Structure 1
């Protein structure tokens, strides 16, 4: 025995030792390979290359390779440069001349279009300008539209978990004299449950001074009130026009009611022809709305100190994206309240497009699928770009916009235009490569409370179509309270059955006017139920005195009187409206006896002495009252006929109780409000 046992151990031990060593070798090999792997492409930051000559900086960037999204147009980078002196550029390789010597932080924010990764991280690069040369005054930029005093742009559409930059621009309204005032910024709308942006850094270069937003009215526009010519000048009495003050107060209160976050800056001595910019780094929170059809808004207001200059407002609407795609479709106010929507309700759509090619496009065709609930014939064009005439009034070869409306689609065709390409040589302004169509349509006659989707296909010249995102519209669930009046009837006789009694009043809560399966909760407070149960009887032939008379007792009977108050709760009720007049449902109900009172009634039948007809006498004992004495549950199925989505209807429900098996029929009327 002593010679056999060691052999068994020698055969087993080397096998396990070999497995252990092999596993350890694999583990070390994997760790070694992982340690030699290159960093993930998404972690490679943008590298800024600078060539300085006097006060001129020539910039270019080294960026990670693009990772093409399958089926999308060719991936490319778009650029946004901050020069550190309050100016910027969207050019891929800008050249900037500084007016003053000093240190400047250059920032680059590159956006990866049609790329499945994250945008390259931005890291400022500091340069020093040691010598300046004469630089001509900058020409008015294309940042502002028409005569607007305010404008905003972003370097990219908001994407959850990604940094973006908002540029808030303001300028002199024209005329003579310097302008001072207050610039206000509002973001993070209260209509969304979570915050969408966190302000990481604000960069102002023109002496803007941060102030409390609630102190803005202290700088409200005022007029000079002169009691006499001698009062003119610095000693003039200042007063605030109450009408203007009320208007400003209401405007600021309205913004505060819409947005969670607000910031304000004082702007002093803005000279004629000047344009100034504030740069805001916004971190889009990971909890940001995941729905890429949602539209968020950032709003700005400029309140001049001069009462002769009107207050300016600018709202920047941005669509949340899952990936950066310059061609997209947007539905404003995509979540609607069905209760207040009618076929006259107008929906505003915007289709944005950008020529990302290497050359200009002379024709852009946009085909849009129209959801069945919308009436394409109600089309109304609100705005579009590039600006041109409509084709029905254009001469031959003139730039024009043609519109074709079909039953299930709308086509917009820009003919004979010149839309620059994003990658075209010499193109520095990305806005010159973009266009859009903004239009309105109404609902059709049959308006169902169902989600609806639209999508566009965009064709530049004869290239393959670019398919946009799906723009989804939804109706808010809404709540529909209901009033129920019903009558319950059991199929078997027993002392006091559970369940909805003969008369009951209830309430319900469900989704408003649903077209899909939905849940409905119900609560019934029954009228007090009374039942009398026979206990025993016995015959007797003894005499007795009742009152002042004498009687011979013939019969004695005892009864139990029970009075109950019940509450019936339907926590689970799944319904479906097959037609506008027919609905079915099934669910479970819980019945609770909230109050019970018991009494004993004694009845005596006696004959008067010496003679007379038999008489009955009764006595009811004191009551025994208890609370929450019993419960039972039931399964049920029912059917509704009438205006089952919203309005009055009749229902029939069959209940099967579980604890004390019985069936009960409930006939009721319900009005869903």
Structure 2
């Protein structure tokens, strides 16, 4: 008993210590440890221990080094040669994959190079995948609350007819299609005298001659697997821009979809030379909460030389909840159901990385396909590694095969060589990655509901690795409608229904909702005139023009004219199927304008017994606005094309002020 009492505080202390250590480790910055030998520097790092996610592959770090002289590396422990002496600010961004903690913060580390040698120059990583003058990549996919680096590279591309090129580079980000900003540009680090300018300055540098402008939005098949986008768009054919006004209009058109932009001036880039800018972006915590959504950052290359192409590069980035190199992505995840047909193409990309200690020869990717997509329409757009089809390959040739079922597609890479990240001698993480990009169309029975895909990836005979779920959704959209009907009271005969009982209304709801949705309605009733009898008074005397008369009786009436308005602020509807629907809700009504004129009809005895005479008079008209409020609860049933189109319905209403019942027979049409 005594030992237990002493043991309990020790156990509590150990638990508290482990918890505190975990908290401290989760915030430890990346520590850069340089080993300087003349101008040769070997970089290593100290990072917090990784904490694996249950059921996921072993966690690991990916690395992005910025050496402070305009160069970079994705290696774990790079060796870099500095061309000159000086102090260099070095940064390391380490990204924790398959880890349940936070990414290690980045801290600047200054190193001093005091000697120069005649050693060979560095071999730069292969950056440009296409044939353009501008490309961008990031060190990771955006995760809310984390910082990231956008590497923007530009060049005087090989084959250029000019010895040097000058111009401007424009960055466009934070798309207007999303309700809030996704990124904040924290810092732009340049190493080649790039100067920030405005749009007017850009146009001032442009000559008044004709420009060559590329066709926009051409998808190239390359997507950078080191953390870059889902798709990239670059230059296609050329179209002339005839001078500054057209260039200005073109730039404003490109800027139209974005909230923010920055422009930098670049000068005299030599033929074949590649230069880079390092842009630190804060991924805002309040950005789009929908992980797997795709945001786009665009770049424009505008040369001064009118004979050169104006180029555009679009980098699509997937928002993630955690860092995972194996993922499935869907471009254009928010579709407009009104304009989406069965032939609409959905473009998917499944990306994978071999994180093992040896190469993989076979990679099998099995994708589950939602019922609304037709597996028979699959079209393989692009792949990495590039392979031929297995049915036309010779023995042991690298190839790709597909197996289709009703609800799945399997892509199988055979006889390939995909290195592992932990394999000895592998320094380029790009070589350990691959992808398949494919198109799928909808089936004929397309429903307005989310559709989900997920992939499992098997490297050789290892256990499968499961990706995130990619969910496509349809925008709600607005559907205005018109409704015409008759009000009647239960028990009344059809011939007793007055013409004034018909109403015209308008509805607003979600377009073609699949099952449940809300609807708002407003009704404007025809102005009604009617007379009400208040009572009769018998006998009495009156004076007319000084002559006394005997009153036989006096009738009192009220002539009323009413313009009413009824609205449905709460109406829940449920589509049972495509042809039947039910609903329930509440209605409020008010007399928008009511005029009341009191009228008196008096019958008097004529002199000398000559019978009765009628005297009629009216009092001053009384006006009321927004009077006689009333409310009702209702339930109804509809038949017809209830999701989008004509339908007929019956509605039962129970009014509460005053208490009575009505039946509303109506026809409606949603647009």
TM superposition score category, shorter chain reference: 0.7 to 0.9
Conservation of the 8 A alpha-carbon contact between 2:182 and 2:283: yes
Q: Does the Cα contact within 8 Å between 2:573 and 2:581 map onto a contact in 1?
A: yes
Partner of 1:481: 480
Indicate the residue corresponding to 1:402 in structure 2.
401
Between stretches 553-562 and 121-130, larger displacement belongs to: 553-562
For residues 649 and 568 of structure 1, the distance between their equivalents in structure 2, rounded to whole angstroms, comes to: 21
Contact persistence 1:488–1:501 (CA under 8 A): no
The structure-2 alpha-carbon separation of the partners of 1:183 and 1:64, relative to structure 1 and needing over 3 Å to count, comes to same
Q: CA deviation at 1:255?
A: 2.2
Cα-to-partner distance string for 1:482-524 (whole Å, 9 max, x where unaligned): 122222123489xxxxxx9613222111111101211111111
Structure 2: distance between partners of 1:223 and 1:536: 92
SS at match of 2:482: strand
Q: Tell me the residue number matched to 2:582.
A: 584
Looking at structure 1, the residues matched to 409 and 369 of structure 2 have their Cα atoms a distance apart, in angstroms, of 7
**Of 196, 218, 221, the match for 1:210:** 196
Summarize deviations over 1:289-348 as a string: whole Å, max 9, x none.
Answer: 121111111111111122222122211111011110001111111011111111111111
Aligned to 2:640: 642
Tell me the distance in 2 between the aligned counterparts of 1:650 and 1:610.
67
Distance 1:638 1:66 in 2: 59
User: Which deviates more, 533-542 or 32-41?
Assistant: 32-41
Residues in 1 aligned to 2:414 and 2:364: alpha-carbon distance in whole angstroms = 8
Cα pair distance change 1:541/1:319, threshold 3 Å: closer
| Residues 1:71 and 2:70 are matched in the alignment | no
Residue 87 of structure 1 corresponds to which residue in structure 2? 71
Matches of 1:35 and 1:591, distance apart in 2: 62
Are residues 492 and 565 of structure 1, via their aligned partners in 2, closer, same or farther at CA, if it must alter by over 3 Å?
A: farther
Q: Which residue of 2 aligns with 1:97?
A: 81
Query: In 2, are the aligned partners of 1:544 and 1:553 still within 8 Å (CA)?
Result: no
1:338 lines up with 2:326 in the alignment: no
The alpha-carbon deviation at position 385 of structure 1 amounts to 0.9
How many Å apart are 1:244 and its aligned residue?
5.0
Aligned to 1:496: none
**Counterpart of 1:256?**
255
Secondary structure, counterpart of 2:462 in structure 1: coil
Q: Secondary structure at the match of 2:96?
A: strand
Q: Give the alignment's TM-score, normalised by structure 2.
A: 0.87
Tell me how far apart the structure 1 counterparts of residues 440 and 107 of structure 2 sit (CA, whole Å).
45
Aligned partner of 1:598 in structure 2 is 596
Alignment match, 1:558: 556
Q: Give the unaligned 5+ runs of structure 2.
A: 1-8, 211-239, 493-498
Which one of 87, 103, 111 corresponds to residue 119 of structure 1?
A: 103
The within-5 A match list for 1:12-411 is 40-139=24-123, 141-175=125-159, 177-221=163-207, 243-411=242-410
Q: CA deviation digits over 1:153-187, x for unaligned, max 9?
A: 11111101111111001122124511111111111
d(CA) in 2 for partners of 1:394 and 1:489?
A: 77
Does the CA contact (< 8 Å) of 2:166 and 2:268 recur in 1? yes
Mapped contact 2:336–2:477 kept (Cα < 8 A): yes
- Note if contact 2:62-2:94 (Cα within 8 Å) is conserved in structure 1: yes
Q: Report how far residue 250 of structure 1 moved.
A: 3.4
Larger radius of gyration, structure 1 or 2? Answer: 1
Distance 1:151 1:541 in 2: 103
Change (3 A) 1:160 1:445: same
Change (3 A) 1:342 1:581: same
Deviation at 1:136, TM superposition (A): 3.5
Could you tell me whether the CA contact under 8 Å between 2:208 and 2:244 is conserved in 1? no
Decide whether the 8 Å contact of 2:73 with 2:125 is kept in 1.
Answer: no
| Cα shift at 1:623 | 2.2
CA contact (8 A) 1:566 1:594 kept: yes
Match of 2:509 in 1: 510
Question: Structure 1 residues 668, 529: closer, same or farther in 2, change over 3 A?
Answer: same
SS at match of 2:172: strand
What secondary structure sits across from 1:428 in the alignment? Answer: coil
1:251 and 1:363, CA in 2 relative to 1: closer, same or farther beyond 3 A?
A: farther
CA contact (8 A) 2:209 2:242 kept: no
Query: 1:382 Cα shift?
Result: 1.5
- Give the corresponding residue for 2:422: 423
TM-score by length of 1: 0.86
Aligned residues: 624
